[in-house]
C-alpha cells in the first residue's frame, strides 16, 4: 500500500496533462476522499473520547474499591492495636501479681528463718510480729489489686 502511494506521487506528473483545467479536475477528484478521511478522523476522535470516559469511569470505580479496602485495613490495624494494648495491660497486671507473690514468698521464707534462729535472737517475738504485719499488709494490698 505504501509502495503504491509512493509510486503514484513520484509519477503523477507523467499522468497529468499540462493543461491547468485537466490538472484542476484531477485535484478535485481527491476532494471527496479528503472530506471522507476528515470525517473518519473526527469519528475516531469521538470514539477515543468515549473510550477515555469509560476508562475514567473504571478508574473511579477502582479508586472507590481501593478506598474501601484501605478503610477496612485501617479498622483491622485499630483492632490489632486495641488487642495489643489490652494484652499489655494484662501482662502488666500479671507481672505486678507475680511481684507481690514473690515478696510474699520472701517474707514467708524470712518467717521460717526467724523460727530457725529463734534461740539466737533476743527480740524473736518483735521480729516475728513485724514479719507477720508485713505479710498481712502485703496480702491486703494484693487482694485489693486483684479486685
Q: What is the pLDDT of residues 22-55, one digit of tens each?
A: 667 766 777 778 888 899 999 999 999 999 999 9
Q: What is the pLDDT of residue 32?
A: 77
Please indicate whether residue 95 or residue 112 has the higher confidence score (pLDDT).
Answer: 95
Q: What average pLDDT does this structure show over 83-103? A: 93
Per the CB < 8 A criterion, the answer to whether 93 and 120 are in contact is no
Q: What is the pLDDT of residue 82?
A: 97
pTM of the predicted protein model: 0.52
The three grid cell numbers given for residue 83, joined into one nine-digit string: 488487642
Alpha-carbon distance of 28 to 12, in angstroms, equals 15
Amino acid at each position: 500500500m505504501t509502495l503504491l502511494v509512493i509510486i503514484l506521487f513520484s509519477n503523477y506528473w507523467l499522468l497529468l496533462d499540462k493543461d491547468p483545467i485537466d490538472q484542476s479536475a484531477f485535484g478535485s477528484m481527491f476532494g471527496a476522499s479528503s472530506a471522507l478521511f476528515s470525517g473518519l478522523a473526527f469519528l475516531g476522535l469521538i470514539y477515543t473520547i468515549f473510550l477515555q470516559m469509560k476508562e475514567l469511569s473504571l478508574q473511579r470505580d477502582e479508586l472507590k474499591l481501593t478506598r474501601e479496602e484501605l478503610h477496612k485495613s485501617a479498622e483491622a490495624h485499630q483492632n490489632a492495636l486495641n488487642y495489643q494494648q489490652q494484652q499489655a495491660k494484662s501482662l502488666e497486671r500479671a507481672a505486678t501479681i507475680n511481684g507481690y507473690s514473690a515478696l510474699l514468698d520472701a517474707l514467708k521464707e524470712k518467717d521460717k528463718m526467724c523460727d530457725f534462729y529463734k534461740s539466737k535472737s533476743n527480740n524473736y517475738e518483735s521480729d516475728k510480729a513485724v514479719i507477720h504485719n508485713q505479710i498481712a499488709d502485703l496480702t491486703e494490698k494484693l487482694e485489693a489489686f486483684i479486685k
